[in-house]
Structure 1
Amino acid sequence: MSLLTIILNILLPPLAVFLKHGLGMTFLISVLLTLIGWLPGVIHAFIVND
């Protein structure tokens, strides 16, 4: 995992997921989790972008 990916996972989780997986269900889940709370979005981004 690159440093840029780690920074994006922390600051903008949906953007990090989008850059790796594109538009799709994973991106929508990331957006929803980030809207619910920042921490669930970050956790999801780290799991998906592993």
Structure 2
Amino acid sequence: MDLGHGIGLGSRMPLVGIVFGHMFFGFLAALSEGFSLGWLFLGFGQGLHPY
């Protein structure tokens, strides 16, 4: 269960990989949305809402 493997750091530090992955995708969402809400929705809404 190595979620951060694609990042490279995950193989040695799973937690770091997961955190960076979450921040990275959240950052991309914020960029595409143009608002910090994109980061919030991706970070928190992902596990709370099926959509």
Q: 1 or 2, which has the higher helix percentage?
A: 1
Q: TM-score, normalised by structure 1?
A: 0.36
- Using the size of structure 2 for normalisation, the TM-score is 0.36
Highest CA radius of gyration, 1 or 2?
2
Higher relative contact order (CA 8 A, sep 6+): 1
